[in-house]
Structure 1
Amino acid sequence: MVYLSKIAVAAACFASSVLAHPGEHHDAHVVRREIAARNQMASAAKRSIDSCSGSLKHREVNARSVARRANIAREIRQKRNIKSKPKKYRRDLATLEVYEAINHNETALGYSTATPETTIFSANTSCILTPENTDGPYYVTGESIRKNVTEDQAGVPLYLEIQYLDINTCLPVEDVYVDIWNCNSTGIYSGVVATGNEDSWNSTFLRGIQVSDSDGVASFETLFPGHYEGRATHTHLLSHSNVTVMANGTIQGGSVSHIGQLFWNEDLRSAVEATSPYNTNTQAVTSNADDTWSVVQAENDYDPYPEYLYLGDDITDGLLAWIQIGINVTADQSSTSYYSVAAVLQADGGHSTGASVGNGNGTAPANGTAPSS
């Protein structure tokens, strides 16, 4: 499936009013203020990026993006020996609530090899995404720079491309180091130990770091996330600027330029969770409409859903997804309450920061060093 429109814009961070990650609670009044501030900042950022989105250089960036995504899709299909036609679906650009009207928004386009790649892989830049909010209580520093983060986990393969653009120029932001993490198919996070998430401080599955290239693109080979009670299905992103790359393939220092969460369409989530091992997850499902981050109240100022494409007839063949995220290159979130660190991964394994995994507010030591293995 493919969904149209995605430029992400950094707006106000905000936290959950009820259960988010297991054990996490926040003041409801504070949450409402944070959401209002986020929406106001998103509107201002949309005006900023709209003013430069028609520039020649930005159109050139989008043309390169179309070609890149098309090549990636072909390469993955060839590598996996997928012979069936890929599938693309369309979503209208209305409010996010309309996006989620399952029977209304998904219209198979039925394209063929003769369909222009601009139809399949382009992104409409008239609508803005702002996935920026708290990083949640499960962020771990010291993860390795690596593209494939799946390890031995089972699930639907997801090739995720994140493109960072400067909201003032609409041009790519190079050398952004991007942390990614999400739970596995049954709702478990690696790298932490918490009520309802009894894994291990030493595990690293579905976590890793990539750096954006000259087109502002960082890509990961990961898995579609599962769900857990209290939160809609989501993927975490946290970007760093001006870091030092260590000899062991980790990063240290720099600023935190963006913190965000990507959300996924309900139809897509349902299709994924009909497959194994997602269908063994007994935790209650939370829809996007009921998520504590209030993502469906955004109207047209931002859009927190990546565009995506089924790589074959069956969803288990995998997905190609992409999103553009507009950031303020001078921002630094590392000193705010929205930046919380649950653990640090070092040469001898993972260690808790001492903060409660359930409520965040952790203060991270240096990013640490990855295990020698």
Structure 2
Amino acid sequence: MTENEGPKHKRDLTRRKVVVTGAGAVAAVGVAGGLAAGAFAGETGKGKKTPTPKASGSAGVCYTLTSETTEGPYYIDADKLRQDITEDKEGIPLTLSLRVIDNETCRPIVNAAVDIWHCDALGLYSGYESLSTGGGGGDAPSGAPTDGASGTPTGEPPTDAPSGAPSGGTGGGGVHEEPTDDKRYLRGTWKTDRQGRVTFKTVFPGWYRGRTVHIHTKVHVDGTWTDAGYEGGTTCHTGQFFLDEESVLLSATVEPYSTSTTERTTLTEDTIYDQSGTAGGLLKLKYNKKNIAKGVIGSITMGVDPDATNDGTGTSTTASASASATAS
């Protein structure tokens, strides 16, 4: 398997359904906005005013449009509706505090469905364990990063669309793969609140050959929240979040990351990250540099075009553009 996230696979994003699972899930849908605002208390103190993004140089645009990226082969369209996606996976606790706004008006995108999914500490994707064999070593942890996690990859970096994959993987490429198992750890969907905010609890992702450490995301709008989940609407944003080199190197000293023997592609060598910082999906991270194992808080504001439709290939079209194309 290789995660060649190239523009080969186009998917029908006009129909979306998120399956609600677990006791109390139906009730959770009805109060999703309130739960999202109060989840994981302490991250945003009461009474604090939400900062408003400053105007950019472009007229009529208040915030930089967040980069669109490819979906990759491991997206599953019917994820679980939940904020805690950890399940039983080991790793450094990671809380993701996300905000979704209209990049032209800076108004929050309310009631959007936000997906996130990523590999575990050793490079495995749920639903695709037989394709993504991960990078775990068979020996006892050494307690220190391997050469592949030292900041200098041991192999040649990819020169075009990433062709790398977890060590030992086979096939795949950029075309969407059908799931090979029913596991769904480190995947989830939740609803943005009245401030456009949504919070997820997960673990710090690991790495695999050919890609830097990253988290996938999608934003769906204009759908309907029902007792069964989220249906209809369009996908206005498909992107990835990235983690800085310092945090990745520190994570590599912590088990189970320290057992990985997989080559690691650095942030500057990744062919998906566009090196544009926050606009490119780079998370702002907070953690104790002397003890990252205690946990990390990652935050970012995503500026999106709610009228656009993104097909997962890294490009998007707007309603007006589609109308013009049809007319011509």
* Structure-2-length-normalised TM-score: 0.63
Deviates further, 170-179 or 302-311: 302-311
- Residue in structure 2 matched with residue 323 of structure 1 by the alignment: 300
- Retained in 2: the 8 A contact 1:255–1:332? yes
Between the two structures, name the one with larger relative contact order (CA 8 Å, sep ≥ 6).
2
TM-score normalized by the length of structure 1: 0.56
Q: CA deviation at 1:200?
A: 4.8
- Residue 254 of structure 2 is matched in structure 1 by 275
Whether contact under 8 Å (1:73, 1:311) holds in the other structure is no
2:210 counterpart residue number: 230
Contact 1:23 1:195 in 2 (8 A): no
- Kindly, what percent of the aligned residue pairs are identical? 29
Residues 236-315 of structure 1 aligned to structure 2 (within 5 Å): 236-248=216-228, 250-296=229-275, 298=276, 302-310=279-287, 314-315=291-292
Query: Superposition RMSD on alpha carbons, in Å?
Result: 3.3
1:74-108 Cα distance to aligned partner (Å, 9 max, x none): 89xxxxxxxxxxxxxxxxxxxxxxxxxxxxxxxxx
In 1, Cα distance between equivalents of 2:195 and 2:92: 27
- Aligned pair partner of 2:42 in 49, 56, 72: 72
Find the counterpart in structure 2 of residue 196 from structure 1.
132
Once residues 44 and 194 of structure 2 are traced to their aligned partners in structure 1, the CA distance between those partners, rounded to angstroms, is: 22
Q: 1:224 to 1:124 in 2, by over 3 A?
A: farther
Which residue identity is paired with 1:167? Answer: N
- Kindly provide the CA deviation profile for residues 82-140 of structure 1, in whole angstroms up to 9, marking residues without a partner as x: xxxxxxxxxxxxxxxxxxxxxxxxxxxxxxxxxxx89xx97975684624211111100
Query: Which ranges of structure 2 fall in alignment gaps of 5 or more residues?
Result: 9-36, 57-62, 134-168, 170-178, 316-328
- Look up the match of 1:18: none
Amino acid at match of 2:104: N
Quick check: which one's helix share is greater? Answer: 1
* Matching residue's letter, 1:308: L
User: In structure 2, how many angstroms separate the alpha carbons of the residues matched to 1:267 and 1:68?
Assistant: 30
How many pairs were matched up? 234
- Deviation of the 1:305 alpha carbon: 1.2
Q: Hey, what's the Cα distance between the residues in 1 that align with 2:95 and 2:217?
A: 15
**1:113-262 equivalence runs, <5 A:** 125=54, 128=64, 130-193=66-129, 195-197=131-133, 200-248=180-228, 250-262=229-241
Q: 1:317 to 1:337 in 2, by over 3 A?
A: closer
Are the aligned partners of 1:288 and 1:295 in contact in 2 as well (CA < 8 Å)?
no
- The 1:25–1:240 alpha-carbon spacing in structure 2 relative to 1, beyond 3 Å, is closer
Residue 312 of structure 1 deviates from its aligned partner by 8.3
Structure 1 partner of 2:139? none
SS in 2 for 1:267: helix
Q: Which amino acid aligns with 2:211?
A: R
SS at match of 1:189: coil
* 1:128–1:301 Cα contact (<8 Å) kept: no
Shift of the 218–167 alpha-carbon distance from structure 1 to 2, 3 Å rule, reads: same
Taking structure 1 as reference, are residues 148 and 311 closer, same or farther at Cα in structure 2, changes over 3 Å only?
Answer: farther
- Contact 1:138–1:189 at 8 Å: present in 2 too? yes
Indicate conservation of the 8 Å contact 2:3/2:73, yes or no.
no
Distance in 2 between residues matched to 1:68 and 1:203, nearest whole Å: 28
Structure 1 pair 301/208, CA: closer, same or farther in 2 (3 Å)? closer
1:295 offset after TM fit, Å? 2.2
Render the CA deviation track for 1:200-234: whole Å, top value 9, x for unaligned: 52001000001100000011001111000000100
Deviations 1:127-163 (A, max 9, x none): 8462421111110011111010000000010110110
CA distance in 2, matches of 1:323, 1:331: 20
Contact 2:83 2:188 in 1 (8 A): yes
Tell whether the 8 Å contact from 2:209 to 2:262 is kept in structure 1 after alignment: yes
Do the aligned partners of residues 257 and 273 (structure 1) sit closer, same or farther apart at CA in structure 2, a change above 3 Å counting? Answer: same
Aligned partners of 2:270, 2:289: CA distance in 1, in Å? 30
* SS of residue matched to 2:87: coil
Aligned CA distance change for structure 1 residues 138 and 301 (closer, same or farther; 3 Å): closer
